Amino acid sequence: MKRILIFSLLVTILISSCHNQNQKKEKTQKKEYTPVAIHPDKVTNIVLDDSIRNMLLERGRELAGITQLKLKQELRKAIKQGGILNAISFCNKRAMEITDSISLAEKVYIKRLAKKYRNPVNDMSEDESKIYKAYIINHLSKKWSPAMITWNKKGQPVYYNPIVVDALCLKCHGAPGTDIKPEVAEKIAELYPDDKATNFRAGDLRGMWSITFPEYMVTDAK
């Protein structure tokens, strides 16, 4: 708990201290995407104390786990069926659909956010960038980066947890020319002219999960 408190403090300091580093860059790629809309049956007011925080952390962990598992299973299947090139088309067409279908079924908003994004839809807001920056600082100083719960401007609680790169990811997010084959790089450039999601190494942070719970409204935090 102490480590989480120190980490939350770091995030708060970052949120209030850096203003002009996250200006939105012009986006070159326009991909049609309509975000899902979740309508909870009712909204419950909550005070974010340790027990509610732990409940939401647990639920966030579970949902991120389910989504990651599903994405990885389908990714492996697509690679088996038609190699990496085929898997790129799979990610392009199905990654958001899979994430959104779990969001709809669970009545939450599940996102995989990235500062160095491939699909601009997954870019981070200013506040999210500050939270991510705290994760990056922790990561660079080889500190443990815990999942956390904060709340958004609407008062809805949000779960965040870093996404780490492993060997499988490098075929599409590693170094072009060595990890990423030329034909794969070509396909990525064709689908994502504004791609920033390359040159990662195993163990790097790739982005973070953001899971919003619209059925709750944070009225106070302890």
Report whether 154 contacts 43 (CB < 8 A): no
Query: Does the protein bind ligand HEC through residue 84 (CB under 6 A)?
Result: yes
Residue 105, amino acid: A
Which of 22, 67, 122, 129 lies at the binding interface for ligand HEC (CB under 6 A)? Answer: 122
> How many residues lie near ligand HEC (CB under 6 A)?
25
Report the C-alpha gap between 11 and 127 in whole angstroms: 10
Residue count (the chain): 222
Query: Does the protein bind ligand HEC through residue 91 (CB under 6 A)?
Result: yes
Residue found under tokens 């999601």: 197
Looking at the Cβ atoms of 165 and 217, the one nearer to ligand HEC is 165
Query: Does the protein bind ligand HEC through residue 104 (CB under 6 A)?
Result: no
| 22-61 footprint of ligand HEC as x/- string (CB under 6 A) | ----------------------------------------
Which of 110, 114, 134, 218 lies at the binding interface for ligand HEC (CB under 6 A)? Answer: 114
Which of 52, 104, 163, 185 lies at the binding interface for ligand HEC (CB under 6 A)? Answer: 163
Looking at the Cβ atoms of 88 and 131, the one nearer to ligand HEC is 88
Which of 7, 46, 60, 117 lies at the binding interface for ligand HEC (CB under 6 A)? Answer: 117
Query: Does the protein bind ligand HEC through residue 172 (CB under 6 A)?
Result: yes
Report the C-alpha gap between 71 and 152 in whole angstroms: 26
Query: How many Å from the N-terminal Cα to the C-terminal Cα in the chain?
Result: 13
How far is residue 105 from each of residues 40, 111, 205, measured CA to CA in Å?
11, 14, 28
Which of 169, 205, 211, 218 lies at the binding interface for ligand HEC (CB under 6 A)? Answer: 169
Report whether 217 contacts 155 (CB < 8 A): yes
CA proximity to 206, closest of 118, 91, 110, 114 = 114
| Binding region for ligand HEC (CB under 6 A) | 75, 84, 87-88, 91-92, 95-96, 112, 114, 117-119, 122, 163, 165-166, 168-169, 171-173, 197, 206-207
